[in-house]
Chains A and B, each alone.
Chain A
Amino acid sequence: MTHMRRRLASQLDMGRLDMGRLDIVRSHVVRSAAIRSAGLTALLVGIVILLSGCGSDPAPDPTGQPSASQGDQAQQDAALSYRAGESESVETVASEQPSSPASPSEQSATEQSASEQAASGQSGQRVEASSGSAAESQSEPEAMLANTIAEGHRAGLVADRHIVGDPQAPIVITEYSDFL
């Protein structure tokens, strides 16, 4: 009987100890869980920050070219503003690009320039239209003059070396000019 009590007491002691160990383990687990929870929270916050950071990045290059650095971006901006100042059409800009750009950044700038100007569409068309009309306005008068003089010769209208038209016309338009 005494032996059994001792044994029970021993088991109780062990149980207390075990219970004590459990408390220690439980508190450790609780602390670990808290730490993990805090870590997960921090990880989630980090992911959210990363995702929001990715959202503010420039649109990826549709051509699959490596994205330009900030310095390259500045060069692109400068190139675009230069081209805008020159009021060139999309086709003109594209045709003036070298076939093999000197560096990837130049190539990227070229492609972005073309894509942005293509995307702007209407402004490009306006520039092209204005360039076309300017070219027409330059070539048309000369062609018109040549035709008129040729027609005048055929119709006998050129009466004298420096006159075009009917010598009997009631109105005389005189231009005083210098060839230079």
Chain B
Amino acid sequence: MEPQVIHEAVRSGLARYEYRHFIIFGANSEYAALATECAGDQGAWWEFHDEYLFEAQARTFTRAGTIALAEREGLDLEQFQHCLDTQAHAQRLITMQEQAIASGVRGTPTITVNGRIVGSSLQSILDAVAEASDRSKE
């Protein structure tokens, strides 16, 4: 949903969009999330996000595939591999997961607007944004 929402609401400055990991598909999913956070250390969070979400093949979720992706993005491979091997962002993911569950998130994708869960259709999101905008003006 994010492209449309970003296009409609975020570019206008009315809203910001945040992506949060909610890992439900096991080890590969967790590995991809960790790799994305490690890439974020070097300014390539969105590049990894796009690769995993829109382009990824099964091989991308392996260590070799992830390293190849980091190399393709021009990352410092030594730093990246150290980040992966030490699971440097594991606690960040755990915290994200706990906060999501506490917010009522039970599956993916789940969308919230100012903390309130809304439908995942573009119209539902835009309606919620408009409602939140009206409320903020009152």
Which residue of the partner chain A has the closest CB to B126?
A: A173
The answer to whether A173 touches B15, judged by C-beta atoms less than 8 angstroms apart, is yes
Q: Within 8 Å of chain A (Cβ to Cβ): is B133?
A: yes
Chain A, 109-160, CB within 8 A of any chain B CB: 140-142, 144-146, 148-149, 151, 157-159
Contact residue range for chain A? 20 to 34
Q: Known contacts A141-B4, A163-B16; can you find 19 more A-B pairs with CB under 8 A?
A: A164-B10, A166-B13, A167-B16, A170-B15, A170-B133, A171-B15, A171-B114, A172-B18, A172-B113, A172-B115, A173-B15, A173-B113, A173-B125, A175-B20, A176-B20, A176-B105, A177-B53, A179-B33, A179-B52
Q: Within 8 Å of chain B (Cβ to Cβ): is A162?
A: yes
Given known A173-B16, A173-B111, contact A162–B3 (CB-CB < 8 A): no
Per-residue CB proximity of B101-138 to A under 8 Å, as 1/0? 00001001111111100000000010001001100100
Taking the nearest CB of chain A, how far is it from the CB of B94, in angstroms? 14
In Å, the complex CA distance between A159 and B40 comes to 12
Q: Which residues of A contact B28 (CB under 8 A)?
A: 180
The answer to whether B4 touches A164, judged by C-beta atoms less than 8 angstroms apart, is no
In Å, the complex CA distance between A166 and B9 comes to 11
The answer to whether B15 touches A161, judged by C-beta atoms less than 8 angstroms apart, is no
Q: How many A-B residue pairs have CB under 8 A?
A: 151
Number of B residues near A (Cβ < 8 Å) is 54
In Å, the complex CA distance between A52 and B28 comes to 72
Using a CB–CB cutoff of 8 Å, the interface residues on chain A facing chain B are 140-142, 144-146, 148-149, 151, 157-159, 161-167, 169-180
In Å, the complex CA distance between A98 and B14 comes to 54
List 28 A–B pairs whose Cβ atoms lie within 8 Å, in order of A's numbering. A142-B54, A145-B2, A145-B50, A149-B6, A157-B10, A158-B46, A161-B45, A161-B46, A162-B19, A164-B10, A165-B10, A167-B16, A170-B14, A171-B16, A171-B114, A171-B133, A173-B15, A173-B17, A174-B20, A174-B113, A175-B20, A176-B21, A176-B108, A177-B110, A178-B25, A179-B33, A179-B52, A180-B25
Q: Within 8 Å of chain A (Cβ to Cβ): is B5?
A: yes
